[in-house]
Amino acid sequence: MRLDVVSIFPEYLAPLDLSLIGKARRDGVLDLHVHDLRDFTHDRHRTVDDSPFGGGAGMVMKPEPWAEALAHVTRAGATDAAPVPHLIVPGPGGVPFTQAMAHRLAAEPWLAFACGRYEGLDERVYEHAAERMPVTVVSLGDYVLNGGEVAVLAMVEAVGRLLPGVVGNAESLVEESHEGGLLEYPVYTRPASWDDGGTVRDVPPVLLSGDHGAIERWRHEQRVARTAARRPDLAAAAAAVAGLDDLDVRVAAPADAAELVVLQRACWVPELMVSGGWAIPPLEESLDDTVAGLAGWTTWVARVRADGGAPGRLVASVRGRVRPGDPTVWETGRLMVAPDLQGRGIGRALLELAEAGAPPSVSTYWLNTSSAVPANIRRYRRSGYRPVPGEGAWPGTVDLTKRRRP
């Protein structure tokens, strides 16, 4: 992913050389370019601001340096695949930055950030930019910072860590706060019993029990309780399913297999109607086959949350694996969403989740689908996949691939 940041304080972005984001840059996963807005001025004082028309406090950023800076960024980074960046302008008057937005931005090839200072950018900069590229004003929260740089640090970290290979363990992404619309459960490490000098504080016994089912249930209860106590707005939102963020997403366990069989049967029957008699494995496989499939693939299952947050009906799933014998290919499949919840972006978001699970060795995403269902092929195309000419891996199917973005 390419990132460009324009600021009058380029040094502010220095922390992006540190930690996992710094490593992602060195590994070539993030191609970050920081530009000094003053390089696009032409006067002796390198002026970027002026007083507001109509009076009022503070200064306004002049339009001309911004137009030049954006033209420079676009010239420097344009490719056939991504001719312009998506311009993000941080500001307290923008749409709220959320984990869901971080996921959407992580799927884009090129983001540019325009860091305003003072009272903000001359409004004509937005009009000028919007005629040339997608523009979104994004707010970190309902408070006012001195400029966009701190917000860019936060957004680049939140987006960058979702890119494949930046955080080693994809499961740790699934389990953290805001993934699935709930806050993170509390965590503990040794010693199991700690005397803080006045009070002995024990780790909750369930975590020492070795009963993984009980631990998972306890953790989920903690997530629900924390969300209700600290973020009642999120708890209420979780009751309705608007998209993947509203579902409880986890890596599947054998106990999920029976519901997977049921969902599979529901989701592949429409394909049976038009398949021309070809075999459709998700309709034919037994419960034992499905359990075996869980061992060979990483399967994610999404459940609606019942009242109180407990995971309820299994409504969506996807799976992924490194192709046996070829570590450069990540195979995804069995992408399914319950009929009543289709059309909310859940399938697309799950596919992205599965792609994010690919290890760094992977350079190509691969999937296979029936040639008889053009709507599904169109959906995969919208996610960046392209059909491989000729028949797919099985009769009546087509293979689709997508290059992993560096």
Is 139 a residue that touches ligand ADE (CB under 6 A)?
yes
Q: Which is nearer to ligand ADE, 99 or 139 (CB)?
A: 139
Between CA 371 and CA 26 the distance in angstroms is 41
User: Can you tell me which of 65, 148, 293, 333 binds ligand ADE, judged by CB under 6 A?
Assistant: 148
State which residue, 149 or 246, has the beta carbon closest to ligand ADE: 149
User: To the nearest whole angstrom, how small is the minimum distance from the Cβ of residue 265 to ligand ADE?
Assistant: 47
* Binding flag, residue 141, ligand ADE (CB under 6 A): yes
Among 57, 79, 80, 144, binds ligand ADE (CB under 6 A): 144
Q: Does 140 bind ligand ADE (CB under 6 A)?
A: yes
Q: Is 166 in the site for ligand ADE (CB under 6 A)?
A: no
Q: Which of 5, 151, 224, 315 binds ligand ADE (CB under 6 A)?
A: 151
Q: How is residue 381 written in tokens?
A: 């195309």
How far is it between the farthest Cα atoms of the chain?
Answer: 76
Alpha carbons 353 and 347: distance in angstroms, whole number: 10
Q: Name which of 80, 15, 79, 8 is nearest 46 in CA terms.
A: 8
347 is an interface residue for ligand ADE by CB under 6 A:
no
Q: Which lies closer to ligand ADE via its Cβ, residue 91 or residue 293?
A: 91
Stretch of residues binding ligand ADE (CB under 6 A), selected from 20-28, 75-83, 99-107, 137-145: 137-145
Measuring CA to CA, how many Å separate 317 from each of 155, 265, 347? 28, 13, 8
Of 65, 85, 91, 181, the one binding ligand ADE by CB under 6 A: 91
Our CB check for ligand ADE shows the closer of 24 and 88 to be 88
The contacts found for 16-23 with CB under 8 angstroms, 24 or more apart, are 16/153, 16/156, 20/160, 20/161, 20/166, 20/167, 21/156, 21/157, 21/160, 21/161, 21/166, 23/166
3-state secondary structure of 15: helix
Under the binding rule (CB under 6 A), the answer on residue 58 touching ligand ADE is no
Q: Which two tokens stand for residue 239?
A: 């009751």
Residues found near ligand ADE in the complex (CB under 6 A): 90-92, 139-141, 143-145, 148, 151
